[in-house]
């Protein structure tokens, strides 16, 4: 069986070399780039792997899709509690049998069997600095706000909470959460106190606050879009 790897990039020159080294054993490596402005494309071409550039990540075995869990790190440690672990997401797909929906926080779908991997993907969201994280999530919050303001939620927001598919459960949880008052405070309380981020020290507090900040910006931007559409002042 041959193995293909899909890598999503936007200005990842700091991380890309090590990432490509880690998958050098694979038969096929594909980089889907969102028009990076740094040396990302140059690095990809120098390595001789396949490169595609799209404005959004609408990319497209008997098993058509494998999901894995992400481990987020901050201040040199894994922060499972404040990061909301486990978060399952698609990363290993059979070419031509899987596709991606949503331009942000992508949802992987397949027309065949979906399986789960025991391994993890170690994620270092702050290795380019807090400014880079904030800049990226400012952009992400704008995209999420547009989706939230202009698109209806799924019809199975309640039944989906108990679905066996982790992606469907997560989607239903997000739709249910979006309707709560004081949602950013709910997110902070859930991550820091209920999930146990308080036990992760400074890293847990920092990550929980940043997640609440991100959710608050989504709410502000979605409300702005609705008010502008109704001809109301912002």
pLDDT band at 2 (very low <50, low <70, confident <90, very high): confident
Indicate if 108 and 182 belong to the same structural domain: no
If one compares 158 and 28, the residue with the highest pLDDT of the two is 28
Q: How far is it, in rounded angstroms, from Cα 212 to Cα 141?
A: 12
Indicate if 11 and 115 belong to the same structural domain: yes
Indicate if 113 and 16 belong to the same structural domain: yes
pLDDT in tens, 132-165: 999 999 999 999 999 888 765 556 556 677 777 7
Q: What is the pLDDT of residue 201?
A: 98
Q: Which residue in 172, 204, 202 sits closest to 190, CA to CA?
A: 204
Residue 234 included in any domain: no
CB 145 within 8 A of CB 221: yes
DSSP 78-111: E-TTTTTS--EEEEEE-TTSEEEESSSS-EEEES
pLDDT in tens, 83-112: 999 988 888 888 889 888 888 888 888 998
Listed residues 123, 153, 170: the one ending a domain: 123
Strand ranges (DSSP E) for the chain?
A: 4-9, 28-33, 50-53, 63-74, 77-78, 88-93, 98-101, 107-110, 113-123
Residue 202 included in any domain: yes
pLDDT in tens, 151-203: 655 565 566 777 777 777 877 777 777 778 899 999 999 999 999 999 999 99
Indicate if 169 and 91 belong to the same structural domain: no
Indicate if 30 and 99 belong to the same structural domain: yes
pLDDT band at 58 (very low <50, low <70, confident <90, very high): very low
Residue 60, pLDDT > 60, answer no
Indicate if 34 and 77 belong to the same structural domain: yes
Q: What is the pLDDT of residue 56?
A: 47
Indicate if 107 and 186 belong to the same structural domain: no
Q: What is the mean pLDDT of residues 38-58?
A: 85
Cis before 206? omega within 30: no
Listed residues 92, 123, 154: the one ending a domain: 123
Indicate if 117 and 20 belong to the same structural domain: yes
Indicate if 58 and 83 belong to the same structural domain: yes
pLDDT band at 17 (very low <50, low <70, confident <90, very high): very high
Indicate if 12 and 118 belong to the same structural domain: yes
The distance in angstroms from the start CA to the end CA of the chain is 56
Residue labelled with tokens 């936007």? 10
Structural domain of 220: 130-229
Indicate if 138 and 217 belong to the same structural domain: yes
Q: What is the pLDDT of residue 29?
A: 94
In the chain, the number of structural domains is: 2
Listed residues 72, 89, 123: the one ending a domain: 123
Indicate if 21 and 114 belong to the same structural domain: yes
Q: What is the mean pLDDT of residues 68-75?
A: 96
């Amino acid at each position: 069986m041959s193995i293909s790897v899909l890598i999503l990039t936007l200005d990842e020159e700091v991380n890309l070399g090590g990432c490509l080294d880690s998958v050098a054993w694979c038969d096929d490596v594909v980089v889907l780039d969102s028009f990076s402005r740094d040396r990302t494309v140059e690095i990809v071409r120098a390595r001789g792997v396949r490169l595609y550039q799209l404005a959004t990540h609408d990319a497209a075995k008997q098993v058509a899709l494998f999901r894995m869990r992400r481990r987020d790190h901050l201040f040199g440690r894994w922060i499972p509690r404040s990061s909301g672990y486990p978060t399952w997401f698609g990363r290993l797909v059979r070419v031509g049998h899987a596709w991606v929906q949503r331009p942000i926080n992508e949802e992987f779908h397949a027309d065949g069997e979906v399986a789960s991997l025991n391994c993890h993907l170690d994620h270092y969201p702050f290795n380019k600095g807090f400014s880079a994280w904030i800049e990226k999530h400012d952009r992400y919050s704008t995209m999420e706000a547009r989706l939230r303001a202009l698109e209806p939620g799924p019809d199975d927001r309640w039944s989906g909470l108990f679905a066996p598919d982790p992606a469907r459960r997560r989607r239903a949880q997000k739709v249910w959460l979006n309707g709560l008052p004081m949602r950013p405070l709910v997110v902070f309380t859930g991550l820091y106190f209920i999930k146990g981020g308080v036990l992760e020290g400074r890293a847990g507090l920092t990550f929980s606050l940043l997640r609440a900040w991100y959710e608050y910006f989504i709410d502000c931007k979605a409300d702005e879009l609705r008010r502008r559409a109704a001809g109301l002042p912002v």
